[in-house]
Amino acid sequence: MKYGLTILFLLINTSIALTQGICSGNLGENIFTDGDFGSGTAPVVINNPNIAPGYDYSTQVPFDGSYTICSSTSALSGLYPSWLRIEDNSTDPNGYMMVVNASYEPGNFYEETVSNLCENTLYEFSADIINLIRIGTSDHTDPNVTFLIDDVIVYETGTIPKTEQWVKFGFSFITNSVQSSIKLTLRNNAPGGAGNDLALDNISFRPCGPSSFIDLEGESSNIFLCIDDDPLTVVADIIGDNGATFAILWQFSSDSINWETITDNTSSSIQHIDFNVGDYYYRYLSAGNEINIQNEKCRIISDILKITVLPDTYPIQDTTCIGEQYQFGTQTLLSTGFYSENFESSRGCDSTVLLDLTFIPEQPIIIDAQFFDPSCFEFSDGNIVISQLSGGYGNLEFEILDEFEELASSNLTAGNYTIIARDKFNCKESLTITLNQPEEIFIEIGNDTTLRLGQDIIISPEYSHLFPNINWTINGEIDCDDCASANLLPFSSSYVIISVLDNNNCTDTDSIFLTVIEENLVHLPNIFSPNEDGINDFMTINYFGRSVSMLEQFSIYDRWGGLVHSLKDITIENGAILWDGYSDNKILPNGVYFYHLNLIYINGTNEQLIKSITVLR
């Protein structure tokens, strides 16, 4: 597979002020080699590193105006309750950081002099800082740090709030035409006492240059080649403002850690011509001129390009169990031997795989399992638990398949399941288990029904078998709320629900809807003859079924509105006598009388009637 490639390392220059924010381009090596404060197995550095003029050194929790170097604040004896328990800001488990308890007055807590710098060169000065006070702690001053160059303030962090997060602070600046050495200082601005406590890590002073990209029209910086590909041209296309040029120095590495300078090539391009299988890393250093490119404090480092040359032959070994079919490309293998097959890799390279295949006899695999049937009919809470899996050639794995050969785990329904166990050589054993379907339970209560208020209904459901627990739900009266059948007196239209529970806590429920009609429930005469002839001698009340609960009021008035008879708050039977035509044991004359009747029904509603009744002897 042949093709030619050209890779561009692109630098884009930007305009620069005397001082500006964090470098937006590529950086060089950190001139502060001790800016991460190093690492070690001791949780706290014992000897004073003498990096904070005017501050005392402590191996415990630092007091105001002192500092310490440690891997974790948790390692400091007497840690203040308001302080965070944090580690240094790196991936090194033994890395150190600087912990500062600021002095009562503003003062310098870090200072370093850097020499052998390049003139007219952009540098970045930065540090990772965290406010050590916990969020929500009141009456504690927040840190405020100033960055100085040669004792001149050039950058201030402002108030560093309590966020419990590391933040990178810093700036970039250009050395002047005669500046080859500078003093870099970090100063505390806020007053000490309660608060103004911080930790520092990763103090960095690096040359800063324009962005140095590695790009191949959308490709990543990791390129894969075949051993028969054409040489690859790698180009650094450096374009500066106003046509400015840059000196280039190429470097190569086989591990991306240890770099070798390609001393005989300072041009803007190189060729990758080594197609031995392996990884190849390329990067370049750049500076403003040929002199500065030789000074590691003046040059920046590009992104890294990784080239991987893929092999064309892959020898592999594999083992499988006798009786299994081994699929190898287009070949189906059944016996021990050496086989080869041509493939195209995912990267498009032609390759040959050489297979050393061994078939071995199977070793017994023991499968012990506990199984649990579903708890109720058509439930899916059955389970199969593997209690023992041993034997074979080790590294045993298993799967449970249902009748459709689909994977099953828990929440199983009734049916047949197969446990298939395999060892590391694909030798297998199977065990079939049947989960039984529990007895079906059911209840059928009947059909929806229409009734009149006061009408009783007997419901006798059909059951699959006798249930120890039966529960009725009705809006009305029931003569037996745990019986297999019951006499019901519904008070209003509603559902009748019956639920059953067996000894396995399996349930079933059925219901019907009873429509209750409240029409023409009471009959009252409009004439009666109290002459003791045994025929229609009394004014009586007749009502449907058990619809009436009580008579709240019954009053008879003559034609002049005088009260002649009354009843109040009594329970009355169907056909009860309301009036015999007398008033205070005196016979009243024939005529028309008026009455006011107030009845209360069994559902709590009432009905008031104002009508006339004729007495005719």
pLDDT interval class at 588 (50, 70, 90)? very high
DSSP single-letter state for residue 34:
T
Rounded to an integer, the average pLDDT of 123-140 is 93
Q: Which of the 8 DSSP states describes residue 94?
A: T
How many Å apart are CA 287 and CA 303, to the nearest integer? 15
pLDDT in the model for residue 14: 31
CB atoms within 10 A of CB 391: 17
Q: Over 430-481, what HEC string results?
A: EEEEEECCCCCCCEECCCCEEEECCCCEEECCEECCCCCEEEEECCEEECCC
The pLDDT value recorded for residue 187 is: 87
Measured in whole angstroms, the distance separating CA 66 from the mean position of its chain's CA atoms is 44
Listed in sequence order, the residues at least 6 apart from 445 whose beta carbon sits closer than 8 Å to its beta carbon are: 459, 461, 496, 498, 510, 511, 512
Structural domains in the chain?
27-208 (2.60.120.260), 211-310 (2.60.40.10), 313-360 (no CATH), 365-435 (2.60.40), 443-517 (2.60.40.10), 522-615 (2.60.40)
Residue 552 has pLDDT above 90, yes or no: yes
At residue 527, what is the residue type? I
Cβ atoms of residues 80 and 101 within 8 Å: no
Hey, what amino acid is at 317? Q
The tens digit of pLDDT for each residue in 490-511 reads: 999 999 999 999 988 999 999 9
Mean pLDDT computed over every residue of the chain: 89
Choose between 194 and 487: higher pLDDT.
487
Exposed/middle/buried for 43, CB within 10 Å: 0-12, 13-18, 19+? Answer: middle
Mean predicted confidence (pLDDT) in 365-390 = 95
Interacting residues of 559 by C-beta distance below 8 A, sequence separation 6+: 591, 592, 593, 594
Residue 604 exposed, middle or buried by CB count within 10 Å (0-12, 13-18, 19+): exposed
Residues in the chain: 617
- Residue 292 dihedral angles phi and psi, to the nearest 5°: -65, -25
Provide mean pLDDT across the span 352-359: 96
Q: How many other β-carbons are positioned within 10 Å of the β-carbon of residue 253?
A: 16
Q: Per-residue pLDDT for 34 more than 90?
A: no
Q: How confident is the model at residue 20 (pLDDT cuts 50, 70, 90)?
A: low
Residues with Cβ within 8 Å of residue 100, at least 6 apart in sequence: 52, 55, 62, 67, 109, 188, 197, 198, 199, 200
Phi first, then psi: what are they for 470, rounded to 5°? -130, 135
Tokens of 384: 């199969």
pLDDT computed for residue 12 by the predictor: 33
Q: What are the beta bridge partners of residue 149?
A: 152, 184
Instruction: Say what the pLDDT of residue 1 is.
Output: 30
The predicted pLDDT at position 558 comes to 95
C-alpha closest to that of 556 among 539, 536, 573: 539
Sign of CA dihedral 281, 286, 289, 293: negative
Residue 18 has pLDDT above 70, yes or no: no
**pLDDT class for 308, splitting at 50, 70, 90?**
very high
Condensed to tens digits (0 to 9), the pLDDT of residues 35-60 reads: 899 999 999 999 999 888 888 999 99
Backbone angles phi, psi at 242, to 5 degrees: 55, 35
Whole-angstrom Cα Rg for the chain: 49
List, for residues 594-612, the tens digit of each pLDDT value: 999 999 999 999 999 999 9
C-alpha dihedral (228, 230, 231, 236), degrees to nearest 10: -130
115-147 in b/e form (b: 16+ CB < 10 A) is eebbeebbbbbbbbbbbbbeeeeeebbbbbbbb
Confidence grade of residue 17 (pLDDT, cut at 50, 70, 90): very low
Strand 449-452 and strand 507-517: pairing?
parallel
Phi-psi category of residue 423: left, alpha or beta, with phi > 0 → left and psi -120 to 50 → alpha: beta
Q: Using a pLDDT cut of 70, give the percent of the chain over it.
A: 93
Who's near 308: CB < 8 A, 6+ residues apart?
Answer: 222, 223, 224, 225, 278, 279, 280
List C-alpha distances in Å: 473 to 353, 455, 505, 601, 602: 75, 18, 19, 21, 18
Taking only the tens place, the pLDDT of each residue in 70-96 is 999 999 999 999 999 999 999 999 999
